Chain A
Amino acid sequence: MVETVRQFAANEIRPRARAAEEAKQPADDAIAAAHALGLVANALPSAFGGGGERSAVLGALVAEELAWGDLATALAILSPALLAFPLADHGSAAQQAAHLPRFAGGSFVPGALALVEPAFGADPFRPRTQAKRDGAHYVLEGEKCLVPWLAGGETVLVFADEGGEAQGFLVPRDAAGLTATPEAYMGIQALPTVGLTLAGVRVPAEARLGEAEGSDLAGLIARGRVALAALGVGVARAAFEVARDYAKEREAFGTKIAQKQAIAFLLAQMAIEIDGARLLAWEAAWRLDQGEHALREATLALDQVRRIGLDVTDGAVQVLGGHGYIRDYLPELLLRNARGFASFEALALV
Chain B
Amino acid sequence: MKYMLKKITTLIITLLLVSVVTFVAFSVIPGDPALAKLGTYATPERVEALREEMGLNKSLPERYVDWLSGAVRGDFGESYQYAGTPVSELINQRLQVTAILAVMAFIIILVISIPMGIVSARKEGTWIDVFINLFTQVTMAIPAFFLGMILTYFFGLTFKFFQPGKFVMPQENLGSCIRYLIFPAIAIAIPKIAMVVKFLRNSVLSEVKKDYVRTAYSKGNRTKKVLYIHVFQNALIPVITFIAMVAAEILAGSIVVEQVFSVTGMGRLLVTAISNRDYPIVQAVVLYITVIVIIINFIVDILYQFVDPRVRTE
Same complex for A and B? Answer: no
